[in-house]
Structure 1
Amino acid sequence: MIMSLHYLVREPKFIQEKNPLLLLLHGYGSNEADLFSFASELPQEYFVISAQAPYDMLYGSYAWYAINFDADENKFSDLNQARQSRDMIADFIDELLEKYPIDATKVSLIGFSQGSILSYAVALSYPTKVSKVVAMSGYLNLEMAIEGFEKNDLSGLKIFASHGTVDQVIPVEWARKTPQLLENFGIDVVYKEYPIGHGVSPQNFFDFRKWLVENK
């Protein structure tokens, strides 16, 4: 079976009839090996699969969508590419369910930065495919969700969102708007901040791992 995205996989240590899945989505300019460095520390009953974004930026760097700058150095996300990647991730989940004995009701996305922005978009657009999201150092961009996503039943989603208070790439103010927006859609959300920049601190990792264990 030819898969639509390149990926790394850590198979579960505790084999069940169907195991849950953690799908890792890296940030802009990174690759599938980045978040996969966490894999050995993640709960042993999960398939841990880290996907590589489709847009090659050369030298081992990849993006889920382009970020363009105007003359005043304002940043713009390429929404068409983002929406294509959103649907590519949704299709990739289907491919993984076909290839591996994964419990389709226990698929969690763990995204960092651009990967977390897309994790929100996939979950809101296709809530039947995703049960939980860990969104680190990102924010909610509703323009990346499918049109009419508000009609979806989003009440089953659980989200752990986190951000660094001195993030120099994505301002913490953007992230702070996210919990209320999600709660307006009836989504169960936990939001935490850490005294760091654009990255994942040990405490952040510990907290989201604990959250995963508590929200099986």
Structure 2
Amino acid sequence: MHTKSLEYLIRRPKIEISKPPLLIMFHGYGSNEQDLFSFAEELPDELLIISARAPLSMGFGSYAWYTIHFDATTSDKFSDLPEARSALSTIDLFIEELKAEYEINEEKIFLLGFSQGTILSMAYALNHPDKIKKVIALSGYINEDLIEKPFEKERFKALDFFVSHGTVDQVIPVEWARKTEPFLNKLKIKNEYHEYPVGHGVAPQNFFDLQRWIKERCK
């Protein structure tokens, strides 16, 4: 399916529910909307699940939210910032379109990102804490260049993050991810941080932990 802004897959709630919570998935660089959607069947029945396709086509079913400079050695040079900011604007439009299309509980919108999708999910929630309360951030990091300043801690009171990373991630070093927890703690944002002995991917235990985290917050 598609809105005016992005193509997406949908899993409707498996139970009759008025105004279901919404979970939106944002895949990583070079992937597509099928990737994270493989989790959908194992997530809580009451969720309306949307898996979005990034706007930039790389050919052969691969898509990206923005260009990555793989030869960069520091996180601040890794991302094409104008493209990433454009992607955040597209995501904002996409979320507004979904709210208009589906009757959802706007107090329970989850973003679930992987890698590039995580970087954007965390930046979006920090820029729009009035719209997003919960973020599942897999194998990514906080890119402060994408976050509007100054930080108004009062606005962040309802935010809640699940953050995880592989200790042997060969794409995004775990050292970049380890800055996330202190960053969120400084802003007094509720968060749960996990590491798993894997590369750039989601270990089974990681999935069970995020599944539990989501279930607890769907109640």
Q: TM-score range by the shorter chain?
A: over 0.9
* Correspondence for 1:193 among 192, 195, 207: 195
Matched AA of 1:56: S
The corresponding residue for 2:69 is 68
The corresponding residue for 1:79 is 81
Partners of 1:90 and 1:129 within 8 A in 2:
no
| Partner Cα distance (2:73, 2:163) in 1 | 27
Partners of 2:3 and 2:94 within 8 A in 1:
no
Instruction: Find runs of 4+ consecutive structure 1 residues off by over 4 angstroms.
Output: 72-75
| Partner Cα distance (1:2, 1:198) in 2 | 30
> What is the TM-score with the length of structure 2 in the denominator?
0.93
Correspondence 1:120-139 to 2 at 5 A = 120-139=122-141
Determine if the alignment matches structure 1 residue 49 to structure 2 residue 50.
Answer: yes
Correspondence 1:149-164 to 2 at 5 A = 149-150=151-152, 153-164=155-166
Kindly provide the CA deviation profile for residues 81-104 of structure 1, in whole angstroms up to 9, marking residues without a partner as x.
Answer: 111111211221111011011111
| Partner Cα distance (2:32, 2:154) in 1 | 31
Determine if the alignment matches structure 1 residue 105 to structure 2 residue 124.
Answer: no
Give the aligned length.
215
Kindly provide the CA deviation profile for residues 115-145 of structure 1, in whole angstroms up to 9, marking residues without a partner as x.
Answer: 0011100000001111100000000111112
Partners of 1:127 and 1:152 within 8 A in 2:
no
The corresponding residue for 1:144 is 146
Partners of 2:170 and 2:200 within 8 A in 1:
yes
Give the CA deviation at 1:149: 4.6
| Partner Cα distance (1:182, 1:60) in 2 | 35
Partners of 2:118 and 2:138 within 8 A in 1:
yes
Give the CA deviation at 1:147: 4.0
| Partner Cα distance (1:34, 1:195) in 2 | 21
> What is the TM-score with the length of structure 1 in the denominator?
0.94
Kindly provide the CA deviation profile for residues 5-27 of structure 1, in whole angstroms up to 9, marking residues without a partner as x.
Answer: 00000000112220001100000
The corresponding residue for 1:207 is 209
Q: Call closer, same or farther: CA 1:13–1:141 in 2, change over 3 Å.
A: same
| Partner Cα distance (2:79, 2:215) in 1 | 34
The corresponding residue for 2:27 is 26
| Partner Cα distance (2:9, 2:69) in 1 | 29
| Partner Cα distance (1:69, 1:178) in 2 | 21
The corresponding residue for 1:93 is 95
Determine if the alignment matches structure 1 residue 10 to structure 2 residue 11.
Answer: yes
What SS is found at the alignment partner of 1:93? helix
**Structure 1: runs of 5 or more not aligned:** none
The corresponding residue for 1:35 is 36
